Amino acid sequence: MKLTIKTLYGFEEMLAKEIEQLGGTNIEKITRGIKCEGNPEFLYRANLALRTALKILVPIHSFKAKNEKELYDRMMEFDWSMFLDVDQTFAIDNVVFSELFKHSKFVALKAKDAIVDQFRNKYRRRPSINTDLPDVLFNLHCANDQFTISMDSSGAPLNQRGYREDGHRAPMNEVLAAGMVKLSNWDKSKALIDPMCGSGTILVEAAMIAMNMAPNINRRDFGFRSWPEFSPVLWNRVKNEEQSKMRKPSIDLVGLDIDPQAVGMARKSLGKIGLRREVRIKEMDFRDFKPLAEAGTIVSNPPYGERIGEDDINAFYTSMGDSFKRDFSGYDAWIISSNKPALKKIGLNYSKKYTLYNGPLECDYCHYELYSGSR
């Protein structure tokens, strides 16, 4: 079975390693994704256990079309009853990069019309559209005149783990948080601190990594469960195997935030994975915090300045750097921000830097080695 597994920009190498460890074969890196092959067992396990994957797609139909009529005709030529029952609901998720097709919603509408018309012609009945919770979700990808239609095995994006409370004003994508922790090369035997933890996404992802907990082990809905060839026996075996790998390690995870609402949400999220007591969340300004451990890792997503004036955000980053130098000697600090001038105010030279995207914002993810005195 050929697969296309989507991820965030900058995580392709990490995702390739995860896929190899799970047993995927013929691995090929593409921008924001990986092409590979795997059997149904791999497909189920990948949806459960890949930390840096957003979607797992199974391509089923490819063709070329230069206009709406050709798109409709090529869609009508394919037998959709192999993948969709007339009594099921469906939806089409689309990604379009084309000068020929400039209205992506119209492309999806024409594709949907072709599927519906084919069923109506064959059975005098048609499957219904359900954009919220479809039985079958198709993915349409258009690059210029080249179309690929895939079955979406994931359904909802895989970053939606199910542990996070709604309502945080600037939630971080769970896949981004997991990738940041993995890029930091955090030694799980040492402390990890998020001094501006918000609703706790980085801490939860770090805790699941330390527990060897498959990130979607508690999620019930996956797209492949509505497929005709879905095997409940195989699915239960894979899920039980992933659950058996979990452990409760001795970890030192600390989160700090001055917002009591964010602290409350972080604690609830940790409670959903059974680590409310093991991870310490404190409502306080990180500049007043003194770490107990002599060495560890800081991973954090500070404010970028969208809601703060330029002078205030520069002063904030300066005080962050002062706190790191004063209180965190022996630590490795990893900071992500789209505010590159403010990052310079930290007053430290980074030893590594990655370009990542937090939503639409291009960010620098910088590594600072903290030590006392001069090196």
Q: What is the pLDDT along the chain (375 residues), one digit of tens a residue?
A: 999 999 999 999 999 999 999 999 999 999 999 999 999 999 999 999 999 999 999 999 999 999 999 999 999 999 999 999 999 999 999 999 888 887 778 899 999 999 999 999 999 999 999 988 899 999 999 999 999 999 999 999 999 998 987 766 668 999 999 999 999 999 998 999 999 999 999 999 999 999 999 999 999 899 999 998 999 999 999 999 999 999 887 889 999 999 999 999 999 999 988 888 889 999 999 999 999 888 999 999 999 986 666 778 999 999 999 999 999 999 999 999 999 999 999 999 999 999 999 999 999 999 999 975 544
Distance in angstroms (rounded) separating the CA atoms of residues 290 and 327: 6
The answer to whether 182 and 52 are in contact (CB under 8 A) is yes
Residue ranges per structural domain of the chain: 2-152, 174-212+247-369
Alpha helices by DSSP H, 212-248: 232-244
Mind spelling out the 3-state secondary structure of 267-336?
Answer: HHHHHHCCCCCCEEEEECCHHHCCCCCCCEEEEECCCCCCCCCHHHHHHHHHHHHHHHHHHCCCEEEEEE
Q: Quick one: fold of 174-212+247-369? A: Rossmann fold (3.40.50)
State how far the Cα of 151 lies from the Cα of 201, in Å rounded to an integer: 29
Quote the pTM value: 0.93
CATH entry, 2-152, from 3.40.640.10, 3.20.20.60, 3.30.2130.30, 3.40.1360.10: 3.30.2130.30
Picking from 195, 218, 193, the residue whose alpha carbon sits closest to that of residue 208 is: 218
* Domains 2-152 and 174-212+247-369 alike in fold: no
